[in-house]
Amino acid sequence: MANAAEGGPLRVGMVGVGERGSYHLDLLLGMDSVEIKALCDIDDGFLYRAKKWVQDTGKPAPALYSRSKTDYLRLCDRDDLDLVVTATPWQYHAPVCIAAMQAGKHAATEVPAALTVDECWELVETSEKTGKHCTMLEQANYSPDVMTVLNMSQQGIFGDLLHASGGYVHDLRLVKFDPEREPWRLQHSIDRNGNNYPTHPMGPIAWWLGINRGDQFEYLVSMSTKARCLNDYAAHFFGDRHPYASMRMACGDVNTTLLRTAGGRTVTLHHDTNTPHPQTAEMRLQGTRGLYAGNIRKLYLEGRSPTAHEWQPLAEYEKEYQHPLWKRFDEEKFRTSRGHGGGATTPLLWRRLLEALRAGRAPDQNVYDAVTWSVISPLTEKSVAAKSRPVDFPDFTRGKWKSTPPISFA
Ligand SMILES: NC(=O)c1ccc[n+]([C@@H]2O[C@H](COP(=O)([O-])OP(=O)(O)OC[C@H]3O[C@@H](n4cnc5c(N)ncnc54)[C@H](O)[C@@H]3O)[C@@H](O)[C@H]2O)c1
In the chain, domain spans: 4-136, 140-329+367-402
Protein residue closest via CA to atom 5 of ligand 1: 20
Percent of the chain with pLDDT over 70: 95
140-150 per-position pLDDT tens digit: 999 999 999 99
387 Rama sector, left if φ>0, alpha if ψ -120 to 50, beta otherwise = left
Whether residue 358 has pLDDT greater than 90:
yes
pLDDT in tens, 238-295: 999 999 999 999 999 999 999 999 999 999 999 999 999 887 788 999 999 999 999 9
Mutate to test the pocket of ligand 1, among 19, 22, 53, 365 (most ligand atoms within 8 A of CB): 19
Q: Are strands 283-287 and 161-169 parallel, antiparallel or unpaired?
A: antiparallel
Instruction: Please choose, from the candidates 137, 200, 192, the residue with its C-alpha nearest in 3D space to the C-alpha of residue 364.
Output: 137
Distance 44 CA to ligand 1 centre (A): 14
Residue type, position 299, single letter = L
Q: Does domain 4-136 have CATH number 3.40.50.980?
A: no
Residue nearest to atom 7 of ligand 1 (CA): 20
Q: What is the mean pLDDT of residues 322-350?
A: 77
Query: Which residues, including other chains, have CB under 8 Å from residue 375's CB and lie 6 or more apart?
Result: 114, 117, 120, 393, 394, 396
* Distance between Cα 20 and ligand 1 center (Å): 6
Equal CATH topology for 4-136 and 140-329+367-402 = no
Share of the chain above pLDDT 90, in %: 89
- Summarised one tens digit per residue, pLDDT across range 97-137 is 999 999 999 999 999 999 999 999 999 999 999 999 999 99
**What is the C-alpha to C-alpha distance for residues 370 and 356, in angstroms, rounded to an integer?**
16
The β-bridge partners of 268 are 165, 258
pLDDT at 1: 46
Q: Which CATH class is domain 140-329+367-402?
A: alpha beta
Separation between Cα atoms, residue 115 and residue 196, nearest integer Å: 9
For residues 204 and 143, the answer to whether their CB atoms sit within 8 Å is: yes
